């Protein structure tokens, strides 16, 4: 596409940021051009955030019902599954799955909690807390809270 045809349809990108894409200038050379968004991409991103919000809400429902530990929330908000988290914390998958049980999670030693907190980029105190609802984590389909 030509530089003049680069889409400028604002989406989830904050006002002060731009995407960079390739476009063709007047001399036929590929150059970098700034864009604030593109409608099909905006729709796709909105749909993806809706899926993430639903996963977070489901995790919170299970946590508040006492069926899962708060680890499930942090996995959902960071878009991780058991296998991926197990690789990051260098544990067997069965151990991570076991830590999703509330009674087991409550008995974890501080060094294991610290490993999880480091992976999620939060303090151990934050690891032990979850919001009341997914609405507390998302504002208008933007980034999750941490």
Kindly report the CATH number assigned to the domain that includes residue 78.
1.10.260.40
| Residue count of the chain | 146
User: pTM score, two decimals?
Assistant: 0.74
Query: 33 and 56: one domain?
Result: no
- Residue 82 is predicted with a pLDDT of 97
- Average pLDDT on 72-101 reads 97
CA-nearest of 76, 119, 116 to 96 is 116
Same domain for 131 and 64: yes
Write the pLDDT tens digit of every residue in 5-48: 787 877 777 778 888 888 999 899 999 888 887 788 888 888 99
The DSSP code for 145 is: P
Q: What is the average pLDDT score of the chain?
A: 88
Q: How many domains does the chain contain in total? A: 2
- Domain enclosing residue 21, as ranges: 3-37
- Nearest-angstrom CA–CA distance, 67 and 63: 6
Residue 127 CB contacts under 8 Å (≥ 6 apart), including other chains: 70, 71, 74, 113, 116, 117, 120
Same-domain status, 32 and 48: no
């Amino acid at each position: 596409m030509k530089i003049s045809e680069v889409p400028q349809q604002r989406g989830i990108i904050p006002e002060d940021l731009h995407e960079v894409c390739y476009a063709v200038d007047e001399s036929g050379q590929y150059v970098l051009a700034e864009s604030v968004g593109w409608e099909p991409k905006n729709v796709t991103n909105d749909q993806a955030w809706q899926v993430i919000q639903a996963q977070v809400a489901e995790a919170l429902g299970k946590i508040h019902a006492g069926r899962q530990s708060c680890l499930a929330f942090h996995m959902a908000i960071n878009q991780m599954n058991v296998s991926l988290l197990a690789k990051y914390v260098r544990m067997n998958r069965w151990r991570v799955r076991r830590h999703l049980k509330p009674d087991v999670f409550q008995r974890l030693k501080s060094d294991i909690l610290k490993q999880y907190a480091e992976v999620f980029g939060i303090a151990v105190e934050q690891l032990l807390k979850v919001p009341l609802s997914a609405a507390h984590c998302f504002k208008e389909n933007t980034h999750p809270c941490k």
